[in-house]
Amino acid sequence: MEEAWQADLERWLAPYLKALGNKTRRRMCPAYIAGLIGPGDRKSIQPMAARSDAIPYDRLHHFIGAGLWDSAPLEATLWNQADELVGGEGAWLIIDDTALPKKGKASVGVAPQYATALGKNANCQTMVSVTLASGEVPLMLSLRLFLPESWTSDAARMDKVGVPAPLQEYRTKPEIAIEEIDRVIAAGVRFGCVLADAGYGLSAPFRQALSARSLCWAVGIPRHQKVYPADVQLIFPVAGRGRPRVRHVPDVKSMAAHAMLESAKWRQVSWRKGTKGRLTARFAAMRVRIADGAPQRIGSAGAQHMPGEEAWLVGEHRSNGERKYYLSNLPGDTPIKVLAGAIKARWVCEQAHQQLKEELGLDHFEGRSWTGLHRHALMSMMAYAFLQSQRLAQAGRKKKNPRSASPTHLASSAPGHP
């Protein structure tokens, strides 16, 4: 079983190894990925090397942390394979971030910051992730480290861990995400809609950047996000005294998203079938104008944002009492079931994060450098893509032969996994 597993991996890695050139690197890459996939609870370099006589620790460490090789061709191969496996007009491009808990303060990007997985502030590294997904099959394309201001304000500290000079300027997570989306588009990866949670959806520049690129999007927002009715009019109010107004203003005030939906019609919507039956929640949707235009003083209300792009405002009432709100620029005739399906498709990204950590050791890297962390992340994504390709191949064989066994777990065909 193990020999067949590794033979499949070697065949699958062939296009990656061509780009590495050097004979030693062509040995280290499969060895590292096999170490991530194989048995063992800890997937940092030392225990992986200890579990295999064929992997010298010093060479494996040098390959990831200090070797002079370009990761761009490997990334390009990963993206091409991902596009072949799940790309297309029906695919989602999901933007999120994931926290890697870390002790100390010497590792690149480590700082006390909010960790979504922990639900609180913690000492960690935060990586912005880009996932290509179709249905319930996600493939991670990119993981890029976010540097807090405590790092970008200290050039010596960044130089010590090898942060490239062009990336030492502070960038927000939405700004990093847009840069990654541009790279994905330039590489020709096919997708139909961009999804993101409220951490990105609350950013007007992020939403506007997506629209400027003619991309469809559906994003979470805070409940207090201001919106206008879709039929808001811009008028020139009559001045009671003084000079007439030279700029038009909305004829109604903006209001919070949750308040806008109070009078909306809510209905039970099912978006897909889960392991315990249909997944359902109550949804409401209406067309609005987002209050993210240029700020302007409007009478006694002070500075207010003018009406911006028209979009769908969607509310969700979950069975546990939780309420969530979203915006989407999908067309005005989009059915509410399709809106709900787009909004809820983002969950596969969280599944991918969990599997990358629990099964492939994404958060086990013990080096401190920028290069080492991103190379480890790339190897983890390559390992994940290999396992997904195996899963899809076995699912295909199951359809052709109903009696054949199919894995119930992503990595069931790999040694060390249940």
pLDDT tens digits, one per residue of 349-359: 999 999 999 99
- Model confidence at 409, pLDDT cuts 50, 70, 90, reads very low
Find residue 267's DSSP bridge partners.
283
Two tokens at 206?
């992020």
Residues 98-115: tens digit of each pLDDT:
999 998 899 999 999 987
* pLDDT band (50, 70, 90) for residue 261: very high
Task: Specify the higher pLDDT residue, 295 or 280.
Answer: 280
d(CA 401, CA 398): 5
Determine the pLDDT at residue 1: 47
Give the residue carrying structure tokens 């769908």. Answer: 312
Tell me what pLDDT residue 402 has. Answer: 42
Render pLDDT for 186-226 as a digit per residue (tens, 0 to 9). Answer: 999 999 999 999 999 999 999 999 999 999 999 999 999 99
How far, in Å, CA of 275 to CA of 396, rounded? 20
Per-residue exposure over 50-82, b if at least 16 CB sit within 10 Å of its own CB, e if not: eeeeebeeeebbbbbbebebebeebbebbbebb
Tell me 415's DSSP state.
T
Q: pTM of the full predicted structure?
A: 0.90
Residue 413 has pLDDT above 70, yes or no: no
Q: What whole-number percentage of the chain has pLDDT above 70?
A: 89
Better-scored residue on pLDDT, 51 or 274: 51
Spatial CA neighbour of 139 closest among 181, 80, 97: 80
> Taking Cα atoms as reference points, which of 99, 115, 153, 157 lies closest to residue 369?
157
Q: Note the pLDDT of residue 404.
A: 34
Per-residue pLDDT tens over the stretch 22-31: 888 888 899 9
State the maximum Cα–Cα separation within the chain, in Å, rounded to a whole number.
Answer: 88
State the pLDDT at residue 415.
33
What is residue 93's three-state secondary structure? strand
Q: How far is CA 137 from the centre of its chain?
A: 14
pLDDT at 337: 94
pLDDT, tens digit, 9 for 90 and up, residues 9-21: 989 999 999 888 7
Who's near 252: CB < 8 A, 6+ residues apart? 228, 229, 232
Summarised one tens digit per residue, pLDDT across range 88-98 is 999 999 999 99
Q: Given this model, what pLDDT does residue 394 score?
A: 83
Q: What is the pLDDT of residue 301?
A: 63
Q: Which amino acid is at 268?
A: Q
User: Cα separation of 71 and 75, whole Å?
Assistant: 6
